[in-house]
Amino acid sequence: MTESHSFYNQFFKALDGYRQNLPQFLRPDTAIVWCGNPIGGGEAFLQMYAQMPETQHDVTEYNVHPLMGGNGAISMTLNTSGKVKFGSERGQNVMGFSAIFFLRKDPGSSQVQITSMSYRLVHKPSDATLQM
């Protein structure tokens, strides 16, 4: 689905360097869970994310599935994962991440928006035997 590919490219670009573009992806009632903490809608997420250091996401995997939509809307679920770097120190603060989105494109709209999002950091302990 080209909408999902375009969405994740644009959304992660907005997260990383064009935060002023984030509102177009959110609805006032977007349900967001960030690292296990429920965030109260799109505006609350924007306020929380504005306080975070700069990020750089590298999406290495994504998987999309269409959902049954009503009233002519296009709905889909998008699972993404990869690495995220916090701050600007070279080689520091790099972690894995996983993000799951429920997306909707209303009839007559050109914008895919998030109805629900869950974002998690994936921590690998220094003594882990599994290599990532």
pLDDT for 106 equals 86
Tokens 């590298």 identify what position? 58
Entry pTM: 0.85
Tokens 């997260």 identify what position? 15
Domain count, the chain: 1
| Domain enclosing residue 53, as ranges | 3-123
pLDDT for 130 equals 57
Residue 129 placed within a domain: no
Q: Report the mean per-residue pLDDT for the chain.
A: 89
Q: Is the per-residue pLDDT at 36 higher than 80?
A: yes
The helix (run of H) or strand (run of E) holding residue 6 is helix 2-17
Measure the N-to-C terminal CA separation of the chain; round to a whole number of Å.
28
Domain CATH code at residue 11: 3.10.450.50
Residue 7 placed within a domain: yes
Question: Beta-strand (E) ranges in the chain?
Answer: 26-34, 37-39, 55-67, 74-86, 94-105, 113-122
Residue 131 placed within a domain: no
The stretch 84-105 carries a mean pLDDT of 90
Band of residue 26 on the pLDDT scale cut at 50, 70, 90: very high
Residue 28 placed within a domain: yes
pLDDT in tens, 46-70: 999 999 999 999 999 999 998 876 7
Burial bucket for residue 119 (CB in 10 Å: 0-12, 13-18, 19+)? buried
